């Protein structure tokens, strides 16, 4: 029976997902062993009850992200923090050195000629600080890089499948 | 000059009494990771990455600890590795080291250490301090977000260039590299503009304006200086 693979996109630029797709024709090989059951790349609305491997891109930035990542932890056997945002906070965490209100003002009011006041409705509120994924849940594998190279994805998936040891720094590093 | 005998990782070795553990270890090809240490500069032991275990009971930075008779030195075991990783994590957590957008990405000694020590994530909470970037100098800039306070720039400026433009002000979290009396670098009258500080900086904290780091960091130039001086 095929194993289940999911990918999640939190506060990131989707570059990690693009890099994942860059494994090119080897995707077909991966799909022989895995079904992609939830991902921005496919059209399933609900995160399934039990998933074997979940790749998480992006940092935790909103209350919604926290809810989501906790649910995903419950339903996944293995969680891979993919990319620097998920591991360290990376670029999204640059706002942590400033007050949240001044960041919102700079982003939505100061530079806008139409709005001088910011009103949020129907979107989840931002956390005071952007957090790495492992600040909320336990993470099984870390795949640093911005983004991690396609080969790193492919080799990690292979290692998980064959239950082999994965030497992360052979393939990638912070900021790669 | 007296000769001392001791063991490093179980091997009997000897060295001059004025030599440090790190010097003797490197002479014999024993690898100890370092960050603030740079061949040609006075060692000060500020980063603590090079700690070793002595006589199974205490830890000391090998770059400033002189060899002594009968010392039993261990340079690597799981406990030392854990301590080194924790020290490295604290250095990362203290400032905003964001590799992906740093000019030193791919040419950074801090980044290389994370690979060498196998650190692929952080357990320590990041501090996200607000740090300044001083671009007031005509040729060079300093980004305090990337500074690890190794004081290489302070040492090279004081001891090699002889200008002592740079120093450290404040303590702990508030410690910052300053120029002259904490004026902008551009207003620092004692700065000769030689750029030695930029060459020795291990990270992207000091940089030459308009140039990527890979194109200009010449960290081995101090060795030439030593050879030319016959030291």
Instruction: Delimit the domains of chain A by residue range.
Output: 3-96+127-170
Distance CA B146, CA B128 (A): 12
Residues in chain B: 231
Q: Do B114 and A135 touch (CB under 8 A)?
A: no
Nearest CB among B102, B125, B130 relative to A97 is that of B130
Residue A107 confidence (pLDDT)? 86
Secondary structure (H, E, C), A7-60: EEECECCCHHHHHHHCCCCHHHHHHHHEEEEECCCCCCCCCCCCEEEEEEECEE
- The CA-based angle A88-A94-A97, given to 5 degrees, is 110
Residue B214 confidence (pLDDT)? 58
Residue A169 confidence (pLDDT)? 96
pLDDT tens per residue, range B32-47: 999 999 988 999 999 9
Q: Give the closest-approach CA distance of B130 to chain A in angstroms.
A: 5
Q: Give the closest-approach CA distance of A50 to chain B in angstroms.
A: 26
- What are φ and ψ of residue A11, in 5° steps? -80, 90
Chain A residues touching residue B106 (CB < 8 angstroms): 175
Residue B46 confidence (pLDDT)? 95
Choose among B33, B26, B32, B36: nearest CA to B219: B36
| Topology of the domain comprising B3-76 | Ubiquitin-like (UB roll) (3.10.20)
Residue of A96, A133, A175, A176 to mutate for B, most B C-beta atoms under 10 A: A175
User: Are A59 and A132 in contact, with CB atoms under 8 Å apart?
Assistant: yes
Global ipTM: 0.92
Nearest CA in chain A to B93: A88
A-B C-beta contacts closer than 8 Å: 64
Q: Do B120 and A169 touch (CB under 8 A)?
A: yes
Nearest CA in chain A to B125: A135
Stretch A8-22: mean pLDDT, rounded?
A: 97
Nearest CB among A81, A97, A168 relative to B128 is that of A97
Number of Cα atoms under 13 Å in the Cβ half of residue B69 = 2
In chain B, the percentage of residues whose pLDDT exceeds 70 is 97
pLDDT tens per residue, range A39-98: 999 999 999 999 999 999 999 999 999 999 999 999 999 999 999 999 999 999 999 999
| Topology of the domain comprising A3-96+127-170 | Rossmann fold (3.40.50)
Query: By the CB < 8 Å criterion, does A129 face chain B?
Result: yes
pLDDT tens per residue, range A96-122: 999 999 999 998 888 888 877 788 888
Choose among B133, B162, B150: nearest CA to B225: B162
pLDDT at B13 over 60: yes
Record the tokens describing residue A16, joined without a space: 């990690």
Nearest CB among B111, B114, B128 relative to A93 is that of B128
Nearest CA in chain B to A139: B121
Chain B residues touching residue A139 (CB < 8 angstroms): 121
Chain A residues touching residue B122 (CB < 8 angstroms): 87-88, 132, 134
Mean pLDDT across chain B, nearest whole number? 93
Nearest CB among B96, B111, B123 relative to A174 is that of B111
- Does this model's pTM top 0.90? My answer is yes
Q: Where are the domains of chain B?
A: 3-76, 96-229
Distance CA B162, CA B185 (A): 17
Stretch B80-93: mean pLDDT, rounded?
A: 97
CATH 3.30.70.20 fits B96-229, yes or no: yes
Residue A117 confidence (pLDDT)? 78
How would residue B216 be classed by pLDDT, with cut points 50, 70 and 90?
low
Chain A residues touching residue B101 (CB < 8 angstroms): 91
Q: Do B121 and A88 touch (CB under 8 A)?
A: yes
Chain B residues touching residue A173 (CB < 8 angstroms): 99, 111, 114-115
Residue of B88, B89, B94, B100 to mutate for A, most A C-beta atoms under 10 A: B100
Q: Is A77 strand, coil or helix? A: strand
């Amino acid at each position: 029976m095929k194993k289940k693979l999911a990918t999640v996109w939190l506060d990131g630029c989707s570059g990690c997902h693009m890099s994942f797709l860059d494994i090119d024709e080897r995707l077909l090989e991966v799909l022989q062993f895995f079904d992609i059951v939830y991902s921005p790349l496919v059209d399933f609305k609900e995160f399934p009850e039990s998933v074997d491997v979940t790749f998480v891109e992006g940092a935790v930035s909103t209350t919604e992200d926290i809810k989501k990542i906790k649910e995903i932890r419950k339903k996944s056997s293995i969680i891979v923090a993919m990319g620097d945002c998920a591991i360290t906070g990376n670029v999204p965490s640059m706002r942590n050195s400033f007050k949240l209100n001044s960041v919102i003002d700079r982003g939505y009011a100061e530079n806008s000629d139409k709005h001088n006041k910011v009103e949020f409705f129907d979107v989840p509120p931002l956390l005071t600080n952007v957090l790495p994924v492992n600040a909320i849940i336990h993470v099984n594998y870390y795949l640093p890089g911005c983004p991690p190279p396609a080969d790193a994805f492919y080799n990690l998936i292979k290692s998980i499948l064959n239950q082999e040891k994965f030497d992360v720094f052979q393939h990638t590093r912070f900021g790669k | 000059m007296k000769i001392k005998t001791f063991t490093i990782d179980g091997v009997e070795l000897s060295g001059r009494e004025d030599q440090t553990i790190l010097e003797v270890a490197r002479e014999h090809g024993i690898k100890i990771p370092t960050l603030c240490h740079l061949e040609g500069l006075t060692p000060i032991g500020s980063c603590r990455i090079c700690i070793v275990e002595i006589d199974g009971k205490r830890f000391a930075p090998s770059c400033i600890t002189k060899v002594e008779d009968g010392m039993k030195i261990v340079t690597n075991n799981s406990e030392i590795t854990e301590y080194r990783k924790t020290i490295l994590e604290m250095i990362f957590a203290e400032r905003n080291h964001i590799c992906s957008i740093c000019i030193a990405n791919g040419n950074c000694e801090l980044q290389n250490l994370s690979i060498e020590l196998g650190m692929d994530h952080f357990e320590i909470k990041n501090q996200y301090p607000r740090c300044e970037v001083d671009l007031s100098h005509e040729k060079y800039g300093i980004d305090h977000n990337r500074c690890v306070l190794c004081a290489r720039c302070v040492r090279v400026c004081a001891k090699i260039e002889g200008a002592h433009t740079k120093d450290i002000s404040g303590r702990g979290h508030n410690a910052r590299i300053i120029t002259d009396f904490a004026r902008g670098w551009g207003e620092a009258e004692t700065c000769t503009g030689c750029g030695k500080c930029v060459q020795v900086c291990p990270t992207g904290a000091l940089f030459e304006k308009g140039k990527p780091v890979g194109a200009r960091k010449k960290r081995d130039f101090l060795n030439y200086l030593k050879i030319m001086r016959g030291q």
